[in-house]
Amino acid sequence: MPLAVYILGLAVFALGTSEFMLSGLLPPIADDMDVSIPQAGLLISAFAIGMVIGAPLLAVATLRLPRRTTLITLITVFGLGQVAGALAPTYELLFASRVVSAFACAGFWAVGAAVAIAMVPVNARARAMAVMIGGLSIANVLGVPAGAFLGEHFGWRSAFWAVGAASAIALVGVVTLIPRIPLPEEKPQLKRELAIYRDGQVWFAITITALAAGGIFCAFSYLAPLLTDVAGLGSGSVPTVLALFGIGALVGTTVGGRVADAHLFGVLMSGIAASTVFLAVLALFASSAVVASVLAFLLGFSGFYTAPALNARMFNVAGAAPTLAGATTTAAFNLGNTGGPWLGGTVIDAGFGFPSTAWAGAAMLLLALVAVAFSLRLQRSRSRVVASATSSPKAVRTEAVGTEAVRTERV
């Protein structure tokens, strides 16, 4: 695996810490800004909305720009967004700083994923994405609990300052260690990249990714108040439980990245099904601190076990447009990160309590399983058509998607 891929994973650590740390900071932010917990939860959705909009827009805007320069610019803007959040005097300005940071984060993800995919062979795509996603996992192991710890002892603004410092370190790594990526001889054409959206499998990939991410973060976004108000844990124990989620995410990403290249649909089905079961158990036994803590680890594992497969699937079906494929994956994940916390806040506001977020998340995951089943059925149907047209039974089977030939994943 090229060193540059690991540098991208290091930068993603700073991005991921900022994206997810609010799950452990909602109570102090709500108190300081004089808003409700669900309103504070909208800050998570604000970041996700910025990612959804920013990923495709910045992918298109930077399509013909040097990749390294684009990455340097985006990580710089992201770091400045963290400083703005730390200094924000009102909820509205904090909200705006999250959106700006999300735009930069989305662009970095889209371009960074395309760079990582370009540097490895097709049969190592899931592993390359696992390295980048590993940055998110480590953010959950170290960054998110550290943010909760800082918020508990030094105020929530200190967490934003810490992420700003991490962004500066990431900037140094990108400047010094990311090589100059030459632009292709044939300049990317927006019309050709947009052609991927004519394929139904691309839309299945978007739907599955959004629902899978939304189901997990519908519950995870409100895990801190669930642990304190329902399970009876002290606020000082929340960072430890968040670290368990992060450890599970790191292990899940590692395992999923090694398995997904060979058994992509198998990883999707097993991981999403496991997450559904874990959320149902959390809803039933949320009052038990021990059960909730164990399930935090298991949800981290199952949720991130599928992440390399979800990323690789999008690049497989949209290989003719790698930059826009990366942006589309980022947008799809954050559609889930937007819809999940919104749905969780809605059921809380309706009076169903914090455990109801786990039921709502499980419902989203069930829909994701249905979408996986339909996508697999379409995949097999296309494979049979291609196989029947192949003269040699030992020929490598491929399926045409737009202008790109994509290998058929095994279950």
pLDDT of residue 309: 87
DSSP structure string for 153-206: HH-HHHHHHHHHHHHHHHHHHHHHHSPP-PPPSS---HHHHHGGGG-HHHHHHH
The count of structural domains within the chain is: 1
The residue type of 285 is F
Whether the per-residue pLDDT at 329 is higher than 90: the answer is no
Percentage above 70 pLDDT, the chain: 88
- Work out the pLDDT band at 322, boundaries 50, 70, 90: low
Over the stretch 38-60, which tens digit does the pLDDT of each residue have? 788 788 778 877 887 887 788 77
For residue 140, what is the DSSP state?
A: I
Per-residue confidence band for 262, with pLDDT thresholds at 50, 70 and 90: confident
Answer whether residue 319 shows pLDDT above 70.
no
Report in angstroms the alpha-carbon separations of 126 from 1, 67, 134, 181: 12, 21, 12, 21
Contact 127, 229 (CB under 8 A): no
pLDDT per position as a tens digit, 184-232: 565 656 677 677 788 888 899 999 999 999 999 899 888 888 888 888 8
Residue 184 domain flag: no
pLDDT category of residue 5 using cuts at 50, 70 and 90 = confident
**Helix, strand, or coil (residue 398):** strand
Q: Say if residue 45 is exposed, middle or buried (CB neighbours under 10 Å; 0-12, 13-18, 19+).
A: buried
- Predicted confidence at residue 223, as pLDDT, reads 87
What residues are paired with 406 via a beta bridge?
A: 399
**CATH code for position 211:** 1.20.1250.20
Range of the domain at 139: 3-179+190-387+395-407
Whether 220 is in a domain gets the answer yes
Other C-beta atoms within 10 Å of 386: how many? Answer: 16
Residue 285 domain-assigned (yes or no): yes
Q: Rank 3-17, 120-134, 210-224 by mean pLDDT and report only the highest.
A: 210-224
- pLDDT tens across 129-180, in order? 777 777 777 776 777 778 888 888 888 899 999 999 989 988 888 888 777 7
Rounded (10°) angle between helices 3-20 and 67-87: 20
Is residue 344 assigned to a domain? yes
DSSP result, 66-125 = -HHHHHHHHHHHHHHHHHHHHH--SHHHHHHHHHHHHHHHHHHHHHHHHHHHHTS-GGGH
- Residue 185 belongs to some domain of the structure: no
Helix, strand, coil shares, percent, the chain, to 5: 80, 0, 15
Total-model pTM: 0.72
Q: Which residues pair with 405 in a beta bridge?
A: 400
Tokens 């914090």 belong to 354
Q: Quick one: pLDDT band at residue 26, thresholds 50, 70, 90?
A: confident
Residue at 280 is within a domain: yes
CA dist 57 and 76 (Å) reads 18
pLDDT of residue 270: 93
